Chain A
Amino acid sequence: MSGHSTYEPKTGIERWLDARLPIVRLGYDSFVDYPTPRNLNYWWTFGGILSLCLASQLITGIILVMHYTPSADHAFASVEHIMRDVNYGWLIRYMHANGASMFFIAVYIHMFRGLYYGSYKAPREVLWILGCVIYLLMMATAFMGYVLPWGQMSFHGAVVITNLFGALPLVGPAITTWLWGGFAVDNATLNRFFSLHYLLPFMIAGVVILHIWALHVVGQNNPTGVDPKSKADTLPFTPYATVKDGFAMSVFLILFAIFVFYLPNALGHSDNYIPANPLVTPSHIVPEWYFLPFYAILRAVPDKLMGVLAMFGAIACLFALPWLDTSKVRSMRYRPTAKVYFGFFVVACIILGFCGAKLPSDPVIPHLTTFTLIDSDLNSFVWLSRVAALFYFAFFLVILPILGLKETPLPVPDSIASPALAHPAAAPAEKG
């Protein structure tokens, strides 16, 4: 897709097809001859892993629909039917449920990689934003999918998330009633979530095509952040990237298999094996792990509307990132100060995730009461999540804009090949 095509049809059939629908040429130019930077490391294999995740979720999901009943009266029983009676139903459902977690593990690594190596900077802004759109669609899909088994966590999770929209002034209550199709989460809600849960993955697949298109227009970033300048800087996609991606996928599939076969419910919540009961909320309600950081931000703010705005704002920061980071240097490999803040940012995200799983008023250090600040004891998860949330926003809105203007970056290599060739191990033996 970049530069001219080197595809030469070898057989008569290929020549015939190439003149009518050059689809083999498209595949050859995109996945065989496509030049990739020669220095891509394993953090770059998660794009391929994510395609694998999407394919796995689509296939297992379409199969589950063959056995699932979208009805408030039958949904829970039909999931148990899949688990107990359908041939290999347990395997397919566990692949789908754990596949969602694997998908998010991969997407978070993919996003942190983009953040570290500056993959959002010009000319890759649209590529990055398309990725953010995919992430939003993934969150919507995962949330609605979690509702479908109609267990206690499904039901009350749906109640909490749909009520978030009720925080909007004036239109809030009308929007929640509209989302529910009634006065509460009920059968109508379950059915529309099912319909959308089936639709959204295909929309994800559509945006993935745009994401790859945009990628092939601007070319891949690489660990140096320096654009490839000559043929010495690149290698053909096949066999170099395909083999590397294939190896990474295999390792990733081992992790996936460990969860599916040995820890199938480790990432879920046992309360979701209790049928939904609208009259009793589980004593400790938590979302799936991949939403925990945002859940912690929601709870960190004592005001309902501001909490909801902060949560959505945390995602909005990602969309604005290409214009928030003012640094001329793309890769943080050459930004020693930014690298440190990036490390703190990753830690802040993990702390937020940890806080999201705890009760807000619980002490961080057990059996220690300090003093009450505003509304809670200072030694509480709500205060820890406030500190971490503050850093999360400061990273995007203060640190990246200012640091790009202030810091002195390390010297950036002239080309991708030059630091590799200048490495003592690669250089010809020096004389005299």
Chain B
Amino acid sequence: MTWVADTAVGATTEPEHGADPSRRDFIYIATIAAAAGAGASLVWPFVDQMNPSADTLALASIEFDLTKVVEGQQVTLKWRGKPLFVRNRTKAEIASAVKDDGASMKDPQKDADRVKPGKANWLVLIGSCTHLGCVPTFGGGDYGGWFCPCHGSVYDTSGRIRKGPAPLNLAVPEYAFLTDTKVKIG
């Protein structure tokens, strides 16, 4: 009965080491939780380092002078590492795009929603196929617009997907007209 004698000396009722399993379990769980939390928080920097770095993110916007592009011409710029098409569309191209507004499409969108109001001739697109990122070429395919050489996606004169495996229309980036002849992209 030494155990009883020992506790009787102290004024508290605290038992011997190991006699209270819940207290010891708490220490184990707390230690493991702290180690797991520390480990998990260390994983994030090692994952996030692969995301775009600050200098890559800084290359956000460019300005472009539209007087360089005559009607029926297209200029390809490099923006955020990707090709950017700036196309000065002909009347026929615009008419053909507007005529097809009601056609059945994978990603339905009106031609007017893809250009700025009153600037229907200027079509600005990210020149990256929405299938697997190849650069489509103008003048191929059955719809008078772009054709992707990789897997055969066909876009119309508004850059809308009409045929092939791509799921979405060619993306229109965020851009604004600074003046009648100058745009800022991004």
Contact = CB atoms under 8 A, between A and B. Distances in A.
A284 interface: yes
A188 B149 contact: no
A188 B151 contact: no
A160 B134 contact: yes
B134 A299 contact: no
A164 interface: yes
Contacts of A304: 131-132, 165-167
B50 A178 contact: yes
B173 to A, nearest CB: 11
B59 to A, nearest CB: 8
A305 B168 CA distance: 12
A288 B127 CA distance: 25
A361 interface: yes
B66 interface: no
Interface in B129-184: 131-137, 148-152, 163-167
Contacts of B80: 182-184
Interface residues of A, number: 39
A314 interface: no
Given A156-B134, A183-B56, A192-B50, A281 B150 contact: yes
A181 B50 contact: yes
Nearest to B60: A183
Interface of B is mostly: loop
A164 B128 CA distance: 14
A80 interface: no
A180 B80 CA distance: 12
B52 interface: yes
B81 A184 contact: yes
A56 interface: no
Contact of A184 (B76, B82, B136, B148): B82
B165 A299 contact: yes
Contacts of A307: 165
Interface of B: 47, 50-53, 56, 76, 78, 80-83, 127-128, 131-137, 148-152, 163-167
Interface of A: 156, 159-164, 166, 177-186, 188, 192, 278-285, 299, 301-305, 307, 359-361, 375
